[in-house]
Every structure is written in structure tokens, then in C-alpha cells.
Amino acid sequence: MEKLVLAADHGGFELKEFIKKIIAGLGGYEILDLGTNSTGSVDYPEYGQRAAETVVSGQAERGIIFCGTGIGISIAANKVKGIRAANCTSELMAEMSRRHNNANILALGGRIVEPELAKKIVKIWLDTPFDGGRHEQRVAQIE
Ligand code: RB5
């Protein structure tokens, strides 16, 4: 079972809850939910950092993080060495973030992406492997 970490601030809380149910329904994933667990205001950098550290430490293989726009929490997650967090608003972005960038975290904006589109984005992101090949050296250059 692949381990996935989820984390959100208040702006991403509702979408996190929706996506958590979708992933549970897919089967094959163990979910580690770091919160937040309400719409009460919290600071997205803390949640982005915790999710990122969960991935780089190997406690989860990949992560999905949420804030209002997906921007702040992805910026925070990308400060952690080894993280390639991609804030995606389309299925093509999600697919390419895996194929070319080997993104290990997907970021979604709860105030940007409608739940049905988010569901499609998550599914394609989970299912798409890294292409490797010429993209290996570019990803290595990021590190
Ligand atoms: C919180 O109001 C909001 O700033 C946050 O969810 C996110 O959109 C930041 O990028």
C-alpha cells in the first residue's frame, strides 16, 4: 500500500476532506492526515512543512496538500529539500508534474479547483509514473 500524507489549512480543509474520501474509495492507499480538522484559521506554512517533512523522511511516499489557492502551502513545502510540490489546476498539469518533474507533492487550491475537477486531477496524479530518461538529470539539477 502506498502511503500518502494529506495536509491543509482552513482554506483547503473542505477539499481535503472530500479528496480523502475519494482516495479511501480508490483503495490501495494508506492515508496519513495531518489536519487541519476544521475551518478555523491556521497558518499554511506549518502544514506545508509538516507534509513535506513526512515525505522526505519516508513516512509517506507522496503527499497532497491544500490551501485556499494552493500557492502558499506549495511554496512552503518546496522549501524542504527533496520536495517537488506542484500546484495544479488542470489534469494536464497534474500528468506532466509526474511525467516530467517527478512531483512528490500535489497542491490544490480549495477556493480555485472545483471538487469534481480536483477528483480528476488527483486520480491522474496518483496514476501517472515519472518518465525518467532525459528528465532524470533535470530533476537532479533541481536538487
Ligand atoms: C488563507 O486565507 C489563505 O491565504 C491560504 O489558504 C492560501 O490561499 C495561501 O496561499
What is the structure's pLDDT at 38?
97
Q: Distance (Å, rounded) from C-alpha 82 to C-alpha 57?
A: 10
Q: Nearest residue CA, atom 4 of ligand 1?
A: 68
What is the structure's pLDDT at 137?
97
What is the structure's pLDDT at 128?
98
What is the structure's pLDDT at 73?
98
**Amino acid residing at 120:** K
In this prediction, residue 4 has a pLDDT band, given cuts at 50, 70 and 90, of very high
Tens digit of pLDDT for each residue in 24-82? 999 999 999 999 999 999 999 999 999 999 999 999 999 999 999 999 999 999 999 99
What is the structure's pLDDT at 131?
97
Question: Is 65 assigned to a binding site?
Answer: no
For Cα atoms 28, 126, 37, give the angle at the middle one, nearest 5 degrees: 75
Ligand 1 proximal residues by C-beta, below 6 Å: 9, 11, 44, 67-69, 71-72
Residue 36: cis peptide before it, omega within 30 degrees of 0: yes
Q: What is the mean pLDDT of the chain?
A: 98
10 Å Cβ neighbour count for 134?
8
- Count of domains observed in the chain: 1
- Domain of residue 93 covers 2-142
Tell me, yes or no, if 88 is annotated catalytic.
no
**Closest-CA residue to 94 (of 71, 121, 129):** 121
Task: Please enumerate in sequence order all residues whose Cβ is within 8 A of that of 74, keeping only pairs 6 or more positions apart, or say none.
Answer: 48, 65, 85, 86, 87, 105, 107
* CATH number of the CATH domain containing 21: 3.40.1400.10
What is the structure's pLDDT at 91?
98
